[in-house]
Amino acid sequence: MSSIHHREYAATASRKVAFLGLGVMGFPMAGHLAKAGHQVTVYNRSPAKRQAWVAEFGGAEAATPREAVQGAEMVFCCVGNDDDLRSVVLGEHGALAGMQAGAIFVDHTTASAEVARELYATAQAQGLHFIDAPVSGGQAGAQNGQLTVMCGGDQTQFDAVAPVAACFARAFTLMGESGAGQLTKMINQICIAGVVQGLSEAVAFGEKAGLDVHKALDVVSKGAAQSWQMENRGKTMVEGKFDFGFAVDWMRKDLGLVLDEAKRNGARLPLTALVDQFYADVQAMGGGRNDTSSLIRRLR
């Protein structure tokens, strides 16, 4: 069974690219690059993952980021956090040590705006380029090649990357200078936190009230309460299914980035801070690897 779903790709020149990090998001994203006709070399910390990717999509694998990026015009990356990102970018075996002059590093990790600016400056000093490009859409968006990508960096490099990234993105937007992509992703996570908590309370309320909650969701989803979360996670919340890829542990990491940035810029985020603690409750219940919609567990 394929790890990605079929889609049509716009015709674009084949590029030599690398992809670093083959997790829930990276594996299918790199797969779409290969299916669109690009020459892809992959790296992942665990050899089994990169071997499985090559078995499915062809291309090549490498034992270090430095080896993976040899000769690549563009390097795409999707890892866990700031420390993971630094580990694949910097150092003797890191990507920057192996990239050719003028190559572009495109980071899809949800990380801090600070590390994005740091790596942008480091790349520039070496005659290289860096774009922070976190994504939204979850595992399904990656498999379908329908991610929303928010970018920070320079226009010229953004314009070069956009036609290539279009194979796994439905929207690829430059938000501003370095770090702006990560800041925009923080807005995304603030919105999701509030919506998922509201939806959780609505479902729990409907259950306590003795309603047919599936039917109730069908009705209210046709009005002003409609949201992606309601359409895609409402009924699975009712059914207690929480295995959709984006884990509570990762959401708490993201909300930690949001709250740290809010301390720096003075934004007041009372609801976000509260929902972050609700997610901590879910972790304490053993649900760290559950999907974010598992927030309802603490209300039952």
- Residues annotated as catalytic (active site), given as ranges: 185
Mind giving me the DSSP string for 51-76?
HHHHHHH-SEE-SSHHHHTTT-SEEE
Structure tokens at 240: 């207690």
136: part of which helix (H) or strand (E)? strand 135-136
Can you tell me whether residue 105 is helix, strand or coil?
strand
- Spatial neighbors of 222 by CB under 8 A, at least 6 apart, are none
- The residue type at 93: H
The structure tokens listed for 98 are: 């192996």
Residue in 133, 245, 142 with CA at minimum distance from that of residue 180? 133
Please list, residue by residue across 143-182, b when 16 or more beta carbons sit within 10 angstroms of its beta carbon and e when fewer do. bbbbbbbbbbbbeebbebbbebbbbbbeebebbeebbbbb
End-to-end CA distance of the chain: 36
* Beta carbons of 95 and 37 less than 8 angstroms apart: no
How buried is residue 104: exposed, middle or buried, by Cβ count under 10 Å (0-12/13-18/19+)?
A: buried
Q: Which residues make Cβ contacts (< 8 Å) with residue 205, sequence separation at least 6?
A: none
